Amino acid sequence: MPLFDFKCSDCENDFEALTSTARIDDVECPKCGSKHVSRKISTFAVGRGGSSKSASSCETGTCPYVSPCANGMCNLN
Ligand SMILES: [Zn+2]
């Protein structure tokens, strides 16, 4: 299963979880146990350093830097 980045809406905790897309509703924040988590658009192997900025530009389809594009639209992929 792919590794996704999540962010907890209740305590702002960022964490990663292995899950299938069908089971996102079952993901709990490991810090506070809340299920109010949102999945961040991310690729599987992108490191934490500056990855959020790269991932968001990738969402727009411009994706000038990230090779494993999150939405598969990257020309450089
Ligand atoms: Zn939390």
pLDDT 10s digits, 18-75: 877 667 778 899 999 999 999 886 555 555 554 455 445 455 555 555 555 555 655 5
Q: How far is the CA of 36 from the centre of ligand 1 (A)?
A: 8
Measure the CA angle with vertex 25, ends 9 and 49; round to 5°. 50
Q: How far is the CA of 7 from the centre of ligand 1 (A)?
A: 8
The per-residue pLDDT for 30 is 94
DSSP state of 77: -
Coil, strand or helix at 29: coil
User: Exposed, middle or buried: residue 49 (CB in 10 Å: 0-12, 13-18, 19+)?
Assistant: exposed
Phi/psi at 57 (5° precision): -65, -30
Q: How far is the CA of 56 from the centre of ligand 1 (A)?
A: 23
The per-residue pLDDT for 19 is 75
Q: How far is the CA of 41 from the centre of ligand 1 (A)?
A: 18
The per-residue pLDDT for 15 is 93
